[in-house]
Amino acid sequence: MTFAALSTAALVASALAAAAAVVTLYLLRRTPRAQVVSNVEFWRRAVERSRPRALFATRVPWLALLLSLAIALLLVTELGDPRVGTGFSGTTVIVLAADRTMAARDDRGRRRLDDALALARATVLADTVTGQVAVVRAGLRPEVIVPLTHRAADAERALGSVEADDGAADLAAAVALGRAIVHATHGPGRVLVVADRDDFARPADPAVAVVLAPVGSPGETLAVTALDARRDPLALGEYHVRCEVRSYAARRARARLVIRDRDTVLSEQRITPEPGEVITHRARGFSSAQGELSARLEDIDLEGGRDALAADDVAYATVPPVVATRVLLVTRGDRYLANALAANPSVELETVDPAGLEARRRTLGRYQVVVLDRIAPAPPLDHPALLLVGAVATRALRVGPEVAAPRVTAFAADHRVLAGLRFDQVQVSLARPLVPEADDRVLVRGGRDALVVARDRDGARTLALGFDTEHTDLVQRVAFPLFMHNALVWLDRREREFHSWQAPGEPIRASGSPAVVLTPSGAAREVRGALYDTARAGIYHTADRAIAVSAADEAGALGAAAGSLDTRRGAPPMRAPLSLVLAAAILGLLCVEWVLTQRGRLH
């Protein structure tokens, strides 16, 4: 047995001091000697003669003294914080996962995080006897919640307030931080990862061992894995909502999917996904104002089971208000471009010829986007958003020789301009390939030729097409108006209109110094520049907009982590604390002393 709170010398000194105090108190208790008398006068004289005259003139109840000494020594033992066994001799850094899957509950309603905290406490109690311990919370960002300490009480206070975030834990960064702490001590150490997954790197480092203590068991859940919303470019005020629900259950599930815009119900549908099935549901809304959307699974019923994770039952998204985009179209007469831009209800279009452009050079700042149709003005335009159709060679953009009938072989479907579009069937009869620079993004490629290039440099954006509307069938497809809408959104830096939420942990930018951000709970947070504490999902509000923080894309299976626990103990067994055992022993000894006194065995 070892003692964590007191050294051996301090413990012996405390025990001797307690024993001396008890013996002194018994010696100071002067006990009168028994005298047999026949009348009151003799009794009075007997009392005078029996009164002790010296300090040690007493009768000591030896059994009571021994019991009191035992009680005092037990109290000293408890103050010494006794520990059975020995822990790791060196530095232990505990990396405690605290993400959304750690909030999953078992059949008894116990969270994985509760099991992880119990294991962390057991490790702290053992390893602070012979070494030092630090605790790193692996949430959206790694955070040291307990610096290196030899005291178990320091860790206990911090572990009592740990809660799970709504996003995915960055275990790799947390493990790297733990290894750095061990290396800074210049001694032996280890990193103990307490988590429900093992997708983190374990570098081969002989000085610092990284081991996994898995928690949790396989569970079943029904999750909202995606929620996106966007304005309809052909219908003023309308927006489309796409919601994706995935089943991580072994049996059929039933639930009610409710999509709301604030308090207005946009869609309510009963769903019955099969095991592993993905259900995509679409809805529509109508409003020119800011939309604040939520998709929630209600009345979830898993046949023969239960939904283990509640955090993935809701997702959030926003729809920006309808804001007009002022566009200047410079063309010698292209009806396809003019009609596609004029049909977009969120566009304020002004069309001029090359001669009219010269008269507007000084007022280009009032337009969000300038579209040049087969024109290269001299001198070049100084504007932060340019759409070049049938791009002409300039000093800033190099163009190759004409190519007849290039076949589209690849396109960047992940880029905002091509979101929701397919270009593999688009025909181009004549094009002039573009020569991209190192930081350009090629969006459409025909073999080795770049047909569409996006450039984002020095605060300015340019989208260049190596073909015009007369030499492609794109203008005859329903995708053309959407392509033009996407191009305006990207050039005008309104990408959030399509990706209508951000992941937990991403900062929320707020204009003004200081600025106020309202959290989903309604609390006002004063920030300077940005709010970084966005671990909770929900709708955040700044002075001019609403931001949806949603962890929908982080949903995943709830299987137990693979790996073994490289320690000599698992989760601590459920047993009474030592202080309660000692308290019960002391109470029992006091009861024994009282019984013996009542029976006359003690005086």
Task: Specify the pLDDT at position 80.
Answer: 64
Average pLDDT, the chain: 83
Task: Specify the pLDDT at position 55.
Answer: 46
Task: Specify the pLDDT at position 511.
Answer: 74
Give dist(CA 391, CA 466) in Å, integer.
5
Name the nearest CA neighbour of 370 among 394, 356, 351, 355: 351
> At which residue do the structure tokens 């410079």 appear?
330
Per-position b or e across 49-70, b if 16+ CB within 10 A of its CB: eeeeeeeeebeebeebbebbbe
Name the nearest CA neighbour of 97 among 184, 173, 156, 33: 173
**CATH 3.40.50.880 segments of the chain:** 325-497
Name the nearest CA neighbour of 417 among 340, 466, 486, 500: 486
Three-class SS state of 183: helix
Residue 499 structure tokens:
């990706």
Q: What is the mean pLDDT of residues 495-510?
A: 79
Q: Residues 144-180: pLDDT tens digits?
A: 999 998 888 888 888 988 999 988 888 999 999 999 9
Q: Yes or no: say if 22 and 65 are a contact pair by the CB < 8 Å rule.
A: yes
The winner for highest mean pLDDT among 147-156, 199-208, 534-543 is 534-543
C-alpha R_g of the chain = 38
Q: Residues 48-81: pLDDT tens digits?
A: 666 555 444 455 666 667 777 787 777 777 666 6
Asked: is 325-497 a CATH 3.40.50.880 domain? The reply is yes
**Which secondary structure element, helix H or strand E, spans residue 228, and what is its range?**
strand 221-231
Q: Which long-range contacts (CB under 8 A, 24 or more apart) does 26-31 make?
A: 26/60, 26/61, 26/64, 26/65, 26/68, 27/55, 27/56, 27/58, 27/60, 28/55, 29/58, 30/57, 30/58, 31/58, 31/59, 31/60, 31/603
Q: Which fold has domain 221-320?
A: Immunoglobulin-like (2.60.40)
Cβ count near 102 (within 10 Å): 30
The pLDDT of residue 468 is above 90: yes
Name the nearest CA neighbour of 213 among 557, 558, 569, 573: 569
Give dist(CA 379, CA 358) in Å, integer.
10
**CATH 2.60.40.10 segments of the chain:** 221-320
